[in-house]
Amino acid sequence: MPRGLALARPAERGVTGDRRVVALFSATMLTSAILLFAVQPMVARFVLPTFGSAPQVWAVALVFFQAVLLLGYLYAHVSSSRLGVRRALTLHGVLLVLPVLVLPLGVPATDAGTSAGNPAWALLGLLTVSVGLPFFVVSTTAPLLQRWLVNTDHPAGRDPYFLYRASNFGSVLGLVSYPLLFEPRLALDDQGRWWTWGYVLLAVLLFACAAFVWRNAGAARPVERGADEQLTVRRRLTWLVLAAVPSGLVVAATTVLTTDVAPIPLLWVLPLGLYLITFMIAFSSGGRSRWVFRASVWLMPLAILAVAVVTVAEIRSPLWLILTVHLVAVFLVAMVCHGRLAQDRPAPQKLTTFYLVESAGGVLGGAFAALLAPLVFNALWEYPLFLVGAALLWPGVRGVKPRRVWDLAWPVGLGVAVYVALTELSYENAVLIAGAAVCVLFALRRPARLAAGLAALFLAGTWGVAAAGTPVIERERNFFGVRTVEQGSGVRSLVHGTTLHGNQLLRTGLPQPTTYYHPASPIGQLVTGGPRGITRRTAVVGLGTGTMAAYSQPGDEWTFYEIDPEIVRVARNPRYFTYLRDAPGATEVVIGDARLSLEEARDRTFSLIVADAFSSDAIPTHLITREAIDLYFRKLVDDGVLAFHISNRYIDLESVLGNLAREARLACYAGDLDAPLGEGIEEANASAWVALARRPEDLGDIAGDGRWQRCETGPDSHTWTDDYSNIISLLR
């Protein structure tokens, strides 16, 4: 989210005025920044369950906050340039009081249909109603405080950029404090109340600042530097692009990370926090900031090419390596772009224009990544696109300019060589690393050459890996992610993001359960070894390919709950999968959020509920809370069984369910199968499941099966509720 954060030291400008005024304005700026950036992950966490815990929730939320920030900067620009000082102060005093009408923060109730289809606009509307007005008012503080100070006779008004030292620090502090301090310790309602008290403090500080400006506005003197500085169209467009690229890159990188792991606030704030830190460094005075900028210029090509290798090769472990590669690239790209912005910042008299253009660039970049890209791309192509854009903005490290013909000739040669090597050789990682190394060697002289080489590596690498891998017969994308239908030798698969969501063997006869659901899997053991009639009335949260329907029996009634209508379309298409069509029992699919939809079902209806919904590589947190467990058991018959699929590369959810079962006095058993058992089982994947019931005997044979163990538990304080969850503590 763009914020022009200049940090010239007042002492270096000859400021000798009242330090108490500087302290007051700095404290106000610090408070404003903390509130501005703490509320973003907080409110996104509020609305996450309503939209199926999709990774795109944070991307759309970021665009919303960027757009409101732009409106705040526009208000600051117009009020400070068109109104007199005292009329502007009066207007803002009235504006400060209005958020009292919507505080404390909260999210209005929604129905199950809110998240169906493409809910981006519904999400924007919900954010507007819940936090739009308070966020707008807080977002005006930064440019207004600077402009107010310019309109006084205080010496600091000669160059008020120093105020952003406090703003930068507050921005990062507010952002990182949420996942590390507030989310693990406070319920959502308490978080909203604490933010409200913070807003009250900000209002008091702003009224104090306004009182000082009111008393001293009459003696204001002209700004000494840059009164007639010209802001050409070319210069403004440059600011716009330099702000748009890192903003869009943050959104795109966050989408990639949360798709591979889980949509959690920690992975939201890490890229955005690094983005803000680059502002702190870029707009600071002194030699250290210049040294960091020069080092970033040198290192950026290596970082973005490393992302190309990791992305094209689909490297997903170890987690620390994946996070490091993506986050370092975000930091270096943002550092280079924001460094160039800092070098070209205008005089204080033009600062509101500077922030307005910069904010507009941030909105454009974020909106492209969050709103437009899912509509025009069938994969996460916005990420490499922003990296190529960053390469074009790279200032380079040498002054010699080679002939332009090589800017196009050598990337074409690189792309052809990488594609041929990937389709003919089996060492794809080595090929991609070699291609990246060649790109570095030939690109150091020209940004255009670096961008062309990076694009060639992405395109040739993606096409080469695809040609050597499983053929894709359909790829679609919407708000909930990218779905790919692949067909290999004798099997057809559905991949959602980077997670396999089921496959089907291509043979005649009734389809057999495969992947995580094969007969020897924990869920296969539960269904076949559970009490008689366990499947007679079954609810399955999460559809996938509909593989679970293969376990239905004649006379059974199965209801699948699925939030993504495109998954329903694929599962019902007999050209792809026939589990639903060929199910021995009757099947029904309900579209919408599972918890909200289950609320509408009659109590004591189901004999078995299977929670198999995955957002990214993890079950959505709102489906695994105290309130969710209570809901499931209200809908189960007295001897009903609840099963959770908890397979995950990075997160261990067994203790979460163990705690919930202990609190509700339920029987809880965990089954974890690393390899298929028995002969004749094909296309089997390792999986981990947890089964819960009111009594151990309700679970049938598995309660005494050595392959199932009682669930592990953790401290009582770690029991998840709708108001509290802490995924960070569960990372492997």
Q: pLDDT digit string (tens) for 75-101?
A: 888 887 777 778 888 888 899 998 888
* Same domain assignment for residues 357 and 413: no
* Same domain assignment for residues 364 and 414: no
Last residue of a domain, one of 468, 498, 522: 468
For residue 475, being part of any structural domain is answered with: no
Tokens linked to 225: 């530097």
For residue 508, being part of any structural domain is answered with: no
How does the average pLDDT of the chain come out, rounded? 80
**pLDDT on residue 396:** 72
pLDDT at 12 over 60: no
pLDDT at 361 over 50: yes
pLDDT, tens only, 156-166: 666 665 666 66
Q: pLDDT grade, residue 204 (50/70/90)?
A: very high
% of the chain residues with pLDDT over 70: 79
**For the residues 101-109, what does the mean pLDDT come to?**
75
For residue 504, being part of any structural domain is answered with: no
Measured distance CA(220)–CA(209) in Å, rounded: 15
**pLDDT on residue 415:** 57
Q: pLDDT grade, residue 444 (50/70/90)?
A: low
For residue 306, being part of any structural domain is answered with: no
Top pLDDT among 353 and 205 is at: 205
* Same domain assignment for residues 193 and 140: yes
The HSE-up count of residue 444 (CA atoms within 13 Å, CB side) is 9
The CATH number for 657's domain is 3.40.50.150
Top pLDDT among 183 and 12 is at: 183
**pLDDT on residue 537:** 95
Q: pLDDT grade, residue 451 (50/70/90)?
A: confident
Q: Range with the lowest mean pLDDT among 168-182, 377-391, 589-603?
A: 168-182
**pLDDT on residue 15:** 40
Q: Distance between terminal CA atoms of the chain?
A: 31
**For the residues 281-300, what does the mean pLDDT come to?**
81
Q: pLDDT grade, residue 5 (50/70/90)?
A: very low
Top pLDDT among 674 and 359 is at: 359
The CA–CA distances, whole Å, from 532 to 610, 699, 701 equal: 17, 10, 11
Block residue for tokens 């996460």: 380
* Same domain assignment for residues 539 and 628: yes
Q: Note down the domain range covering 274.
A: 10-218+233-285+352-373
**pLDDT on residue 550:** 93
673-677: which pairs have CB atoms within 8 A and are 24 or more residues apart? 673/520, 673/521, 673/522, 673/707, 676/518, 676/520, 676/521, 677/520
Q: Range with the lowest mean pLDDT among 26-35, 215-224, 290-299?
A: 215-224
Of 641, 529, 504, residue with least CA distance to 583:
504
**pLDDT on residue 446:** 73
Helix (H) or strand (E) holding 321: helix 319-343
Top pLDDT among 461 and 485 is at: 485
* Same domain assignment for residues 366 and 416: no
For residue 629, being part of any structural domain is answered with: yes
* Same domain assignment for residues 699 and 563: yes
Measured distance CA(548)–CA(553) in Å, rounded: 11
The CATH number for 181's domain is 1.20.1250
**pLDDT on residue 113:** 56
Measured distance CA(648)–CA(631) in Å, rounded: 24
For residue 276, being part of any structural domain is answered with: yes
**For the residues 698-715, what does the mean pLDDT come to?**
85
pLDDT at 153 over 60: yes
**pLDDT on residue 13:** 39
pLDDT at 224 over 80: no
**For the residues 463-476, what does the mean pLDDT come to?**
74
**pLDDT on residue 237:** 92
In total, how many domains does the chain have?
3
For residue 61, being part of any structural domain is answered with: yes
* Same domain assignment for residues 95 and 186: yes
Radius of gyration of the chain, Cα coordinates, nearest whole angstrom: 28
Of 639, 643, 624, residue with least CA distance to 690:
643
**For the residues 129-135, what does the mean pLDDT come to?**
89
* Same domain assignment for residues 266 and 413: no
pLDDT at 398 over 60: no
Measured distance CA(357)–CA(236) in Å, rounded: 7
Q: Range with the lowest mean pLDDT among 128-142, 215-229, 321-335, 703-717?
A: 215-229
* Same domain assignment for residues 691 and 593: yes
**pLDDT on residue 569:** 92
* Same domain assignment for residues 273 and 412: no
pLDDT at 616 over 60: no
**pLDDT on residue 14:** 38
Q: pLDDT grade, residue 711 (50/70/90)?
A: very high
CB count, 10 Å around CB of 636? 24
For residue 490, being part of any structural domain is answered with: no
* Same domain assignment for residues 451 and 577: no
Block residue for tokens 């007199």: 84
**pLDDT on residue 137:** 92
**pLDDT on residue 10:** 40
Measured distance CA(52)–CA(5) in Å, rounded: 36
Top pLDDT among 476 and 537 is at: 537
**pLDDT on residue 17:** 46
* Same domain assignment for residues 357 and 438: no
Top pLDDT among 100 and 241 is at: 241
Whether residue 451 contacts residue 380, with contact meaning beta carbons closer than 8 Å, is answered with no
Question: Which spans in 394-446 are helix H?
Answer: 405-424, 428-443
CB count, 10 Å around CB of 19? 12
